[in-house]
């Protein structure tokens, strides 16, 4: 064949391919997912433009119905969307073919049991006790003359270490430490420590030093064991008897380490006032525990997506009295939504917001969407998102889609939210992800180190008492709120 003819044919082929990629058929085909998740009874549409004859087969018509039919093979109408409806839990495979024989697309559909939860929005009091004694600093002990030492630092104890045992005694209370230290000091014997450092267990020996000024035995460590504050409830799942709140992890400002929960509880709280947000300075909710308030639930986990535990009933002041559906992360879209939160007392109110950006995530990560407050009432009262709103539930199209997690410091009307799917996973309510069709529920957790406690110190005769506030320097946390922790010098 003439080389010029070959080049001409090749050029025509390239032009034909380029033109075909701009057609509606190609664009809709390229947008089709390889995998799809549905709840039982959920219906959705695939907007696939098919200008030619096509057919579809489904291997499990008892699980997935196509265009209202529960048979395995059928013809598709040209230029009409395909309707899919799930009938029961399980996995089905839908195959699309052109002219009855040319493979076009294979779609795996995973149908999970229907899940409904009650959105929260209530301001809650949070009381947490760590699973040991947290080391938050070193200090020097004056032992003789002008010589000062820090036994803890010399023993290799680090900031952020969690001391779980001392001389074989399990530690869960700071008040137990003094007697153990005194006994070891008087007997001139080192203390055997068991330390949790990250995910590893470390053993160390520490010899107490006698403080010549205070006339007592010291470890040369600042330690504490508890925290308390306020946050926002995100959801209550009545069928599972669990809840989720805050939307982010609680870490310690001094050590930048997450608090390992030993035990804890959430109680009723009410908002007393609001400090409005301004550009460069996020505002905050000021709130107090309700006096003699009943315990709403326990705290079992502190994760990158909040705190989780058991709850036996829906708390008072709920906007929703009955459960509503939850959304998969792929269902969240740019557009109007609403947020539930408290700005005065205990009354939960609805406020209009806009989802302005949605991030595609294949594994758990905290910043799933960008939101903007559009409700003039909330902007007037708070200036936008304030610290203390983290965990406020986000509703879109009648479904719970996520929770508020961050505020942008330089634009308080905007902030981040996380997908509700990740919070449900950490609460023990597992939603099947696309990967789990091929992998057995493998979950990769991404920790966000920006959340922490910041502190304000006032000197006390017995040691230090701190007013601790949740804070994130990157974009401003949402729980800068009345958190008191005892920090003892030992």
Q: Point out the residues that are catalytic.
A: 248, 375, 390
Beta strands in 67-168 (DSSP E): 73-76, 82-86, 90-98, 102-112, 116-119, 123-138, 141-144, 147-149, 162-166
- Name every residue whose Cβ is closer than 8 Å to that of residue 38 and which is 6 or more positions away in sequence: 44, 84, 86, 109, 110, 111, 112
End-to-end CA distance of the chain: 92
Cα 53 off chain centre by: 46
- Rounded Cα–Cα distance for residues 310 and 300 (Å): 8
Distance CA 90, CA 364 (A): 23
Residue 294: which of 130, 481, 125, 128 has the closest Cα? 125
Chain centroid to Cα 179, Å, comes to: 39
What is the dihedral angle through the alpha carbons of 382, 233, 477, 279, rounded to the nearest 10 degrees?
A: -10
Token output for 333: 């879209």
CA distance 249 to 258: 7
Q: Tokens for 457, please give them.
A: 């110190």
Q: Evaluate whether 305 touches 368 at the Cβ level (below 8 Å).
A: no
* Coil vs helix vs strand at 340: strand
Could you give the CA distance from residue 174 to residue 161 in angstroms, rounded to a whole number? 14
Tell me the C-alpha to C-alpha distance, in Å, between residue 465 and each of 159, 216, 454, 486: 18, 20, 13, 5
Spatial CB neighbours of 88, under 8 Å, sequence gap ≥ 6: 40, 62, 63, 111
CB distance 471 to 208 below 8 Å: no
Show Cβ contacts of residue 418 under 8 Å, excluding neighbours closer than 6 positions.
Answer: 247, 248, 305, 365, 366, 367, 368, 369, 402, 403, 405
Query: Residue 383: which region, alpha, beta or left (left: phi > 0; alpha: psi -120 to 50)?
Result: left
Give φ, ψ of 6 to 5 degrees. Answer: -60, -45
Q: How many other CB atoms are there within 10 angstroms of residue 476's CB atom?
A: 26
Contact 389, 403 (CB under 8 A): no
């Amino acid at each position: 064949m003439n080389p010029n003819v070959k080049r001409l044919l090749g050029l025509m082929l390239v032009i034909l391919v380029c033109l075909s990629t701009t057609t509606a058929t190609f664009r809709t085909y390229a947008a089709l997912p390889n995998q799809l998740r549905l709840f039982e009874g959920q219906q959705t549409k695939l907007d696939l433009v098919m200008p030619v004859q096509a057919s579809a087969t489904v291997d499990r018509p008892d699980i997935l119905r196509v265009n209202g039919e529960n048979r395995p093979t059928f013809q598709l109408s040209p230029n009409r969307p395909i309707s899919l409806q799930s009938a029961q839990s399980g996995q089905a495979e839908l195959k699309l073919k052109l002219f009855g024989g040319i493979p076009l697309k294979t779609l795996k559909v995973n149908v999970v049991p229907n899940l409904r939860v009650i959105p929260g929005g209530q301001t809650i009091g949070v009381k947490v006790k760590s699973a040991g004694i947290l080391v938050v600093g070193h200090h020097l002990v004056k032992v003789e003359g002008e010589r000062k030492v820090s036994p803890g630092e010399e023993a290799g104890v680090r900031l952020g270490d969690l001391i779980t045992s001392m001389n074989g005694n399990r530690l869960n209370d700071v008040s137990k430490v003094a007697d153990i230290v005194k006994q070891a000091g008087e007997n001139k014997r080192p203390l055997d420590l068991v330390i949790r450092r990250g995910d590893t267990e470390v053993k160390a020996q520490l010899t107490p030093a006698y403080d010549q000024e205070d006339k007592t035995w010291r470890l040369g460590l600042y330690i504490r064991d508890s925290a308390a504050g306020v946050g926002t409830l995100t959801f209550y799942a009545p069928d599972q008897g669990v809840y989720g709140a805050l939307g982010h992890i609680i870490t310690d400002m001094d050590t930048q380490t997450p608090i390992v929960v030993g035990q804890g509880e959430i109680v009723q709280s009410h908002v007393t006032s609001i400090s409005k947000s301004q550009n460069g300075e996020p505002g905050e909710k000021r709130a107090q525990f309700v006096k003699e308030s009943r315990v709403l639930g326990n705290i079992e986990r502190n994760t990158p997506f909040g705190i989780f535990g058991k709850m036996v009933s829906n708390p008072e002041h709920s906007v929703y009295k009955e459960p509503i559906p939850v959304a998969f992360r792929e269902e969240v879209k740019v557009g109007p939504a609403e947020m539930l939160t408290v700005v005065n007392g205990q009354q939960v109110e609805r406020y209009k917001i806009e989802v302005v950006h949605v991030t595609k995530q294949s594994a758990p990560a905290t910043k799933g969407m960008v939101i903007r407050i559009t409700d003039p009432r909330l902007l007037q009262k708070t200036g936008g998102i304030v610290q203390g709103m983290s965990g406020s539930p986000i509703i879109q199209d009648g479904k719970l889609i996520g929770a508020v997690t961050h505020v942008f410091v330089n634009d308080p009307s905007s902030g981040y939210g996380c997908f509700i799917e990740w919070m449900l996973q950490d609460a023990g309510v597992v939603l099947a992800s696309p990967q789990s069709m091929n992998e057995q529920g493998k979950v990769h957790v991404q920790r966000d180190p920006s959340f922490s406690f910041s502190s304000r110190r006032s000197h006390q005769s017995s040691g230090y008492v701190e007013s601790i506030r949740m804070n994130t320097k990157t974009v401003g946390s949402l729980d800068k709120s009345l958190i008191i922790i005892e920090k003892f010098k030992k």
